[in-house]
Homo-oligomer: A and B are copies of this chain.
Amino acid sequence: MTVPAHTARIAVSDLPSALAAVRERGLRLSCARRIVLEALYEADGPLTAEEIARSGRCDLASVYRNVEALETAGLVRHLHVGHGPGLYLPAAAAVELIVCERCGARADVDPRVTADVRAAVQAATGFTPHFDHFPLAGLCPRCAYDRQEG
């Protein structure tokens, strides 16, 4: 229900700049902060808090505290897929996804398509949808097919 009050997301697309940005935002570059950023920048997709904690052996509570701090600082973002745990990724990763509710498959959605959708829903409802935090849910081609067959 709540969207964190982000600092404007700045283009920080590699680990060293992200680490530097932590200091620039007036935050200490603590051990857990480093672990979170290293994990997210080295991963090839979104990670759970659990995965981040395991990757660098720090406490799960510290991961939660720090992804929040780093999200407020505009360096990290998170999204929610289905009923599962939250997934964290670098804020710079401008991914808009659609996720299969049946099998969990994910696909990127072209920003031009989401822009069109945003405009259409805006015009019809006055609300502006976005897909950063709660990605689109649906069925992948295979699951849609399986469902029709039986």
Contacts and interface: CB of A to CB of B under 8 A. Distances in A.
A101 B2 contact: yes
> In the complex, which range does the number of interface residues on chain A fall in?
35 or more
A28 B21 CA distance: 62
Contacts of A2: 82-83, 101-102
A122 B2 CA distance: 29
Given A107-B125, A125-B109, A144-B128, A1 B133 contact: no
B101 A127 contact: no
B102 A126 contact: no
Most B Cβ at <10 Å: residue of A108, A125, A126, A139: A125
B101 A121 contact: no
Nearest to A131: B137
Nearest to A135: B134
B128 A138 contact: yes
A-B complex: 6 closest residue pairs judged by Cβ atoms: A129-B138, A1-B82, A134-B137, A113-B124, A98-B127, A126-B141
8 contacts: A1-B102, A2-B82, A2-B102, A107-B126, A127-B136, A130-B137, A130-B139, A131-B137
